[in-house]
Structures are given as structure tokens and as C-alpha cells.
Amino acid sequence: MKKIYSRFLFYPLTGLALFYMSSCKKDGFLGQTVTSNLTKGTVFADSANTVAFLSNIYSGVGFSFNPGRFTYGGIDASSDEAEVYTSAGSTALAFESGTVNAAVITDDAYKNSYINIRAVNQLLANLPKSPIKAFAKTQMRAEAHFLRAWYYAILLKHYGGVHIVKDSIYNYTDAIPAARNTYAETVNYILADCDTAAADLPLTQTGLSYGRASKGACMALKSRVLLYAASPLFNGQSIGTGATKELVGYASYDKERWKLAEDAALALISTGAYQLNTDNATAPGYGFQHLFTLPLNTEYIFQLMRGSNADFEGLWQPPTRTGKNGAFPLQALVDAFPMANGKPITDPTSNYDPQNPYAGRDPRLNYSIIHDQSLMQVRLASGKTPIDIFIGTYLGRSTGPDAVNVGTRTGYYTNKMLDPDAVSQDFTHPTKRCWPLMRYAEILLNYAEAANEYSGPTTQVYQAIEAIRQRAGLNPYQLPTGLSQADMRTVIQNERRIELAFEEHRFWDVRRWKIADQTENVQTYGMEVDRNNSSVTYKTFPVRKRNFRTAMYLWPLPQTEVAKSAAMLQNPGY
């Protein structure tokens, strides 16, 4: 067999250990361990080093979610949620323009996932001889299996079926199999690792272990993977042909895959261990906003733990708050939020006023989007002031740095997950926020979608969606009775769009639903606000013509990897 030398899959142990040990987080169980000259022997012969090695595998779990992933935007800017910060080249811009290809796309999904999978395999191989108590080894082993499933799930949603290394730890001198496993085999491997992990993990983690993998996290990951697997792109409508057909999906449709996804979500819901963070007494929908400022809550199922930070403020806040480089929300996303009465703005009875477009809307709109005159914390001071995004003049003031086409390319900034009391680069106003990678609202939406596809809009489907709408502060929050399956599908897809905005869902959702050729082949728009004293005019304007082609339903594997062996088949269209 030809030897394949991959700089992504197979770093030598010493270099990998040095990388992981030196990049520890300082927060909670991700606390840093001081090390030097680490080798296989010194890492796993020491209990603290072994624990730190596992902690560093955790430290990478949020890379795909990261809204700064591509420097000028993340997955949000690669979808119809947002526009890139600049026209400079990036993976996000390549997706926007339809020019993405195997030579220019970032290799982080491939590289980071396999580096961490290899680290998991090193831990599993060496944990038995580490001087750690047996019960702790059992939990660490279980956490490692979950983390391996997590990174394979990242590979799966990017590429489809990938090479499963199992427990192997390859070195540069090894002959490495290059052929990809099928989509079905990759799904089954992830599910098996989740089950193995769940058997030895508590349902939830508390105290110093909060943020580590739990049985609930294993169940949530299964719910997500099975939902994707049941979806049109993979469930018998694969874009692959010939040798690639089963690499990028199932060969034939099976309705029972929806039932598997429904049951997986219901199993987690039925534990009663998680619940929506609800507070409509402080303000309508306040529980939705407040959730993202709480490092400890009952809605997060799996999260990247962080200490005091301004992670998202630094990306998304306007220039007057020293934010930079984050993507800008698009008008279509703003328009997707209904009125506070639950009716879409296109409904003539909704009371929507296009010349007062932000009044009377779903509270999640203001909690997710910064628009003209949104109140925001002042940097290095107390209190909140309105943001000026308008063009022209107002009371003698010239257009400011936050204005449309000056600070924002769309007339909007992102507010989702921002702490209303935190300001970028102001160390007197940080937040304790952690990053929500899986939360209970997603599981309710997973359940509703799978159950609706399998059985139609049952009472339980209504209840799941209405729980989310009630927490959002809609009044009334109830859906119209008598919805058809197609009607409910539309409701569910829009609820996912607005409830999970900027949480790394929309990009994947429109692909697995196989509607990206409709949602991505569009002219995108922003909002200009012209204010002159009491006269205010709102006008949409074109931002960019987006382009999408069938190949873009999946990512191309890095060209450097495909070039190493004819057995490493590229995804269709690349």
C-alpha cells in the first residue's frame, strides 16, 4: 500500500502533547498546567498532566461554532444570516459568492477534528497506566469517547462520510488507509461512541465538573446527528453519484430515520433534566436574552467554558464600542422575526408598520439584532445610549462611525449572545458567558421537526414549538390550529432560523433541508435609515447577489489531502 503522509491526521505524539499542554484554558476544569519537555512518558505518568491533556481536547470543541472562525465572519456569514465584514478574501466570502473550491477553502474542520481525534486515541491508549483512581479513569474514558464523537460529527456535517481511524494512532512512517467510510458507517460510529460514553457519565454535570461531557450531552449529540441523517440531503436524496453516492448520504430513503430522530430527542426531553430559561416577568422574552449571560443554567447541555471575556462583543458590537470583524445581519433575517402577536410581518393583520419596522416585534429581534437607536452600554462609563446607524444628519451631527456603509455593510449589528452590560475592550465590563454548543431549545426543535415529518403536526409537536414561542414572550404564543404538515414544516424552519440564529445552525439547516439553492441564490439587502429631526425614512438597499451551486451542499475536502491518494475521493462537484 502506498504510504500517505498527512500533516493533518498524524502529528507525532510529542509535538501534539506540547501543543495541547501549552494551550490550556485557565477557566474551571480547563485550568492551565505548567509543563515543559513533555513526552508520552511524562504526560501519562503524571495524573495532573493526564487530566490537562483531556482538558485541552475540550478546548477545541467550539472552533466550528466560533463566529470569528473565518476572521471576517463565521458560518453565519457563509449563510443567508449575515454579510462578511469586508470584501477581503475568506471562506465566508467564497460561500457568499459561490466561488468556494478545494484549493481556497479553510482546512480547519479537517485538521482540527483529526488532531483532536488522534489526541483522544492517545488518551484512551495510555489512560490505563496513568496514576489516576479507577472511578476517575472510567469517567475520563467516557468523556473521551464523547469528544471523539463530537469531532467526527463536525467532520460529518462538513464532508459526509470520512475515514474512521477507530483507535489507531498513526505516525509518519505508517501506511495509512486513505479510503473514506460511508455516510452510514460514520453516523453509526458516532452513535456507538455516544452510547459508550453515556453508559458511564452522569445525566448532568455539576460543580467543578460543569461543562464536561454528560449523558445528556451524549443524548443531545445523537439527537442532532440522527436529525441530520433523516433530512432530505442525506436520506435518499444524496447529491452523490456512482462511487460517491454512499459517501455523502444514504442510497435510499427510509422514513423510519425520522422516527429514530424523534425518539432520540424525546428520550432527552423525557429525562426532565433540562428546561428553557424563562423570564417574561422582568420583560417579555427576557429569559431568552438573559440565558446567554449565565455561565450556569439548566438550558445548556454542552458548552465551551470561558472565564471573564468579551468574545462576541469584540466581534459584533459597533465601532463606537470597539467591536470589529464580525459579520453583519441581513434584512431577510430581520424580516423573519414575527410581530409580538406571533403573526409574520407579511400578514396584513399583523400591525406591522414598514415606517416603524422595529416596533411591536418578537422580543427576540431586539435581543438578536442591533438596529438604529438600539440602546447600548457606554464604553468606560455607566448607562446606555442609542446607536446611530442612520445616514444624513440629525440635530447637526454628521454621519458617525456606526452608520450604514460606514461601520456596517447592512445597517445592522449582531446582538445575539451579547451581554447588555459588557463592552468590548473595556475590562471593567466583561462577562462570564460561555459558548452554547447544544442547548435545550434545539432539542425541542429537533423533536418537533422529526415528529412532524414522521407523524404530522401532532399535539406534542404544537407543544414543543409553543414552549419556545412562550419563552420568547409572544402574546399570544399559540400557533393557529389545523396546520397541515407542510404548514408546520414552514413554522418549524422559521422558528429554527430565529431562535438559533448565529449559533451555527442556519448554514447546515438549509443544506440538510436541501433548500439552499433557494435561500442562497438571492439578492441580499440591508436597511438605510435617513433621519432628519423628526422625519425618519426607512429604505432597503441591495448588499450582494449571492450565488449557490449544487456542490456547495457539502464542503470540499482539502485538496492537499485528496491529492495524496486516488482512494481519497473528493466530494461531488469539486
Domains, the chain, with CATH or none = 1-65+103-201+553-574 (1.25.40.890)
* Angstrom distance (rounded) from CA 179 to CA 62: 28
For 85-222, list the strands marked E by DSSP: none
Position 1 scores a pLDDT of 34
Cite the DSSP H helix spans in 274-411. Answer: 286-291, 313-316, 331-336, 363-368
Position 395 scores a pLDDT of 55
DSSP-derived secondary structure letter, 358: T
Contact residues for 192 (Cβ-Cβ < 8 A; gap 6+): none
* Angstrom distance (rounded) from CA 73 to CA 53: 30
Q: Tell me phi and psi for residue 340, to 5 degrees.
A: -65, -20
Of 541, 511, 499, 460, which Cα lies nearest the Cα of 238?
511
Q: How many CB atoms lie within 10 A of CB 228?
A: 23
Position 21 scores a pLDDT of 32
C-alpha cell at 542: 441591495
Q: Tell me phi and psi for residue 492, to 5 degrees.
A: -65, -45
HSE of 135, CA atoms in CB hemisphere, 13 A: 1
Contact residues for 45 (Cβ-Cβ < 8 A; gap 6+): 129, 130, 131
C-alpha cell at 469: 414561542
- 3-class DSSP state for residue 527? strand
Please report which helix (H) or strand (E) contains residue 528, including its range. strand 523-532
Position 124 scores a pLDDT of 98
* Angstrom distance (rounded) from CA 79 to CA 553: 12
Low-confidence ranges of the chain (pLDDT < 70): 1-38, 393-398
- 3-class DSSP state for residue 255? coil
Which amino acid is located at 480 in the chain?
A: P
Position 37 scores a pLDDT of 57
* Angstrom distance (rounded) from CA 115 to CA 556: 19
Position 3 scores a pLDDT of 35
Position 397 scores a pLDDT of 56
pLDDT in tens, 305-358: 999 999 999 999 999 998 888 999 999 999 999 999 999 999 999 999 999 999
Q: Does the bond joining 476 to the residue before it have cis omega, within 30 degrees of 0? A: yes
C-alpha cell at 464: 414543543
* Angstrom distance (rounded) from CA 535 to CA 61: 49
Q: Tell me phi and psi for residue 459, to 5 degrees.
A: -55, -40
